Amino acid sequence: MGELRDALARPLHDLRISVTDRCNFRCVYCMPKEVFGRGYRFLPKDDLLTYEEIARLVGISMRLGVTKVRLTGGEPLTRRGIEDLVAMLARDGLDLALTTNGSLLEEKARALRDAGLTRISVSLDSLDDAVFRRMNDVDFPVERVVRAMDAAYGVGLHPLKVNMVVRRGMNEESIVPMAAFFRERGYVLRFIEYMDVGHTNGWRMDDVVSAKEIVRAVTSAFPAEPAEPNYVGEVAERWRYSDGRGEFGVIASVTQPFCRDCTRARLSADGKLYTCLFATQGTDLQALLRGGASDDEIAGRIADLWSARTDRYSELRGEETARLRKIEMSYIGG
Ligand code: SAM
Ligand code: SF4
Ligand code: SF4
């Protein structure tokens, strides 16, 4: 069998798995309190894929070309025994990573490393405590996230990446201080353009601080040159500091879309497969798993779905697409 390709000739290489739609933060750009408040109905526990089901789907996806898996959410470390899932997935030939808000990482770093995790991304939107508390909206202090990063780095989870979403009027003043701090620490900071995922965060183009603006701000403080991508389909545009002190990246999904090289599928916590972050509909793999389908049948369903894929939302983004009823990022997995 030749390599599986979608309708635009893109292979399937990455799978992002949301292990829970719940989170202990209420970041204003992701899970605003007005929507994700007391009355919000998260998935019932029985609807979540079990770790065995996730591991089975990962095995099947690897047959179809997947080489990279990222565990995300919601907040993946809030799901009990997440290290058990890591241990089930850690195997030869699979690049396994996890994205976390860092709130529970200090206690979990060693167990995750022991289970076989190799790479981790920790999100942090500002070093200014007041700004960060306002953005996570649960009064969580910066200091504990930085301590967790140090703990993760200390047990050998490198390279350690730091994700910062930049939203105008909220944290653009933090761009240069973040760059200064993390280049000293040796962690790779990646700035992320604020995206119109979901339909609850009230996204407006005016709120986006473009990659160009971000790069201008960082390089006027710390000169840097563009670096070659590590591989085709790498989402971050990389910049290397001229004084040799590491690098930073920008993920310009709004102003410089990279759909052409997008090799990612996403699995929601309840087992629906999505072929784009901005999809409005998923394919129910949980029903297949629980209905007794064989590995070959499930592989066939995924292959059919991928072969028909034409998604390139970010390249088409406009007034019309902004109004679509898209899936929330906490559900589909960031
Ligand atoms: N809770 C974990 C965390 O925050 O790292 C993992 C899930 S979170 C949805 C994954 C990443 O998506 C985070 O780095 C977060 O900042 C980013 N994100 C969430 N909403 C976003 C948006 N509207 N635009 C750009 N990035 C966003
Ligand atoms: Fe939670 Fe991550 Fe979304 Fe923030 S970005 S609300 S930490 S899922
Ligand atoms: Fe991939 Fe969809 Fe994002 Fe384009 S918009 S890069 S197709 S996930």
Model confidence over 274-284: pLDDT tens digits?
A: 999 888 899 99
Q: Could you tell which of 16, 196, 259, 266 is best to mutate to test the pocket of ligand 3, judged by most ligand atoms within 8 Å of the CB?
A: 259
Task: Verify whether ligand 2 is closer than 6 Å to residue 74 (CB atom).
Answer: yes
Structure tokens at 28: 């204003």
* Ligand 2 close to Cβ of residue 330 (< 6 A): yes
Which range is least confidently modeled, 107-116, 296-305, 308-317? 308-317
- Give 198 Cα–ligand 3 centroid separation in angstroms: 14
pLDDT band at 1 (very low <50, low <70, confident <90, very high): low
Q: What is the mean pLDDT of the chain?
A: 94
Per-residue model confidence as pLDDT tens digits over 18-53 = 999 999 999 999 999 999 999 999 999 999 999 999
Q: Across residues 219-245, what is the average pLDDT?
A: 90
Answer yes or no: is pLDDT of 317 > 80.
no
pLDDT one-digit tens code per residue, 171-208: 999 999 999 999 999 999 999 999 987 777 678 889 99
Tell me what the mean pLDDT of segment 127-152 comes to.
Answer: 98
Q: How confident is the model at residue 249 (pLDDT cuts 50, 70, 90)?
A: very high
Ligand 1 atom with the smallest distance to the CA of 330 is 9
- Cα 330 to averaged position of ligand 1 atoms, centre (Å): 8
Atom 2 of ligand 3, residue of closest alpha carbon: 276
Nearest to 68 by CA among 16, 11, 2: 16
27 pocket-lining for ligand 2 (C-beta < 6 Å): yes
SS in 3 state form for the chain?
CCCCECCCCCECCEEEEECCCCCCCCCCCCCCCCCCCCCCCCCCHHHCCCHHHHHHHHHHHHHCCCCEEEEECCCHHHCCCHHHHHHHHCCCCCEEEEEECCCCHHHHHHHHHHHCCCEEEEECCCCCHHHHHHHHCCCCCHHHHHHHHHHHHHCCCCCEEEEEEEECCCCHHHHHHHHHHHHHHCCEEEEEECCCCCCCCCCCHHHECCHHHHHHHHHHHCCEEECCCCCCCCCCEEEEECCCCCEEEEECCCCCCCHHHCCEEEECCCCEEECCCCCCCCEEHHHHHHCCCCHHHHHHHHHHHHHCCCCCHHHHCCHHHHCCCCCCHHHHCC
Q: Best mutation site among 21, 24, 27 for ligand 2, i.e. most ligand atoms within 8 A of its Cβ?
A: 27
| CATH superfamily placement of domain 14-161+261-332 | Aldolase class I (3.20.20.70)
Say if residue 111's pLDDT is above 90.
yes
Give the list of residues 6+ apart from residue 121 with CB closer than 8 angstroms, or none: 97, 98, 99, 100, 160, 161, 162, 163, 190
Q: What is the pTM of this model?
A: 0.96
Every domain of the chain and the residues it spans: 14-161+261-332
